[in-house]
Amino acid sequence: MSPRAKRPAPAAPRTAIGIDVGGTGVKAAVVDLSTGELASPRLRVKTPQPATPEAVVAAVGGIVDQLVADGHVAPGMPAGAGLPGVVKAGRLMTAANIDRSWIEAPAEAMLTARLDRPVRLVNDADAAGLAEATFGAAKGVLGTVLLLTIGTGIGSALFIDGHLLDSTEFGHVTYRGKDAETLVSGAARERRGIGWKQWGREFSEYMALLERWFWPDLIILGGGVSKEYAKYAKYLSARAPIVTAQYLNTSGIVGAALAGAGVGIAAAVIAREAASAPAAAGPDAAVSAGSGARVQAAQVAASLVIEDQPPR
């Protein structure tokens, strides 16, 4: 090859591991990046309590070890992990619905060390949004698309002509003098004991607040509460059309896998993170993620369940 000849670009990965860390369960599967379908069974363990970074990394490690042992994971296959908080440079900066010890812990480096492969941390709602934008309800939609995930908290993902504006955190805007998710998330509805009618009206007021500032062209509702859409659709109103997410159970996994493979993540972010990777990985992170977590992996393996099989 002459010195000026162009090297062929590295082949884009066709599969990646998607990891979804929620308040009750930690789930993972291999995802086919060209179709958004699962290419392995979806494995789940209960989220350890307290859900510290060390304990969760151990749980994730146990699940991924199982996927590897079952022959679903090729060496070097990238992974992405969705977590409920603002993600900056591989660390959570906030932790409203997860143990506070996550804040500023070198989570991406710990996962990378434990899983022995490149791992990208992503906000859980952004992951769900990436799945919808790539394969689901927001696929090919231009303009401003707002996805709200309604569950324990409220997560948000904002897309402008298919580009993600990450970590928007609209669940924490002030609504009726409070953090919105403490009044109108799925968990808040149950805690307050209000019916769908009242919740629907209040959720519409909350959406109106967001519409005043962002004027979305489409609103997508995801998360656990979107499965009950039929019960409250008639009480919802917004300027923009409202649809439910197409991915209900696997959006977090599919979107995290996409993020792990660099899909939907701005090239500038990837370049910046690659430049700072060795420092972020630090020796302490590697040690704590490696040895301690491996000991707990046996316990994780004992509690693993197969949630479902990939479609045939």
Give contact residues for ligand BGC (rule: CB under 6 A).
Answer: 84-85, 94, 96-97, 123-125, 149, 153, 155, 169, 171, 181
Cβ atoms of residues 242 and 270 within 8 Å: no
Rounded to the nearest whole angstrom, what is the least distance from the CB of residue 131 to ligand BGC in the complex?
14
Which token pair is 143? Answer: 């303009």
Q: Which residue lies nearer to ligand BGC by CB, 94 or 112?
A: 94
Q: What angle do CA 153, 299, 38 make, to 5 degrees?
A: 55
Rounded to the nearest whole angstrom, what is the least distance from the CB of residue 35 to ligand BGC in the complex?
25
Q: What are phi and psi of 84, to 5 degrees?
A: -85, 85
Rounded to the nearest whole angstrom, what is the least distance from the CB of residue 10 to ligand BGC in the complex?
31
Q: Which residue lies nearer to ligand BGC by CB, 181 or 202?
A: 181
Q: Which residue lies nearer to ligand BGC by CB, 203 or 293?
A: 203
Rounded to the nearest whole angstrom, what is the least distance from the CB of residue 179 to ligand BGC in the complex?
9
Rounded to the nearest whole angstrom, what is the least distance from the CB of residue 176 to ligand BGC in the complex?
17
Q: Which residue lies nearer to ligand BGC by CB, 54 or 169?
A: 169
* Distance from chain centroid for Cα 118: 16
Rounded to the nearest whole angstrom, what is the least distance from the CB of residue 224 to ligand BGC in the complex?
10
Cβ atoms of residues 19 and 40 within 8 Å: no
Q: Which residue lies nearer to ligand BGC by CB, 48 or 85?
A: 85
Q: Is the peptide bond before 311 cis (omega within 30 degrees of 0)?
A: no
* CB burial readout 202-225, b (16+ within 10 A) else e: bbbebbeebbeebebbbbbbbbbb
Q: Which residue lies nearer to ligand BGC by CB, 86 or 257?
A: 86
**DSSP per-residue string spanning 72-140:** ---TT--EEEEESS-EETTEES--SSS-GGGBT--HHHHHHHHHTS-EEEEEHHHHHHHHHHHHSTTTT
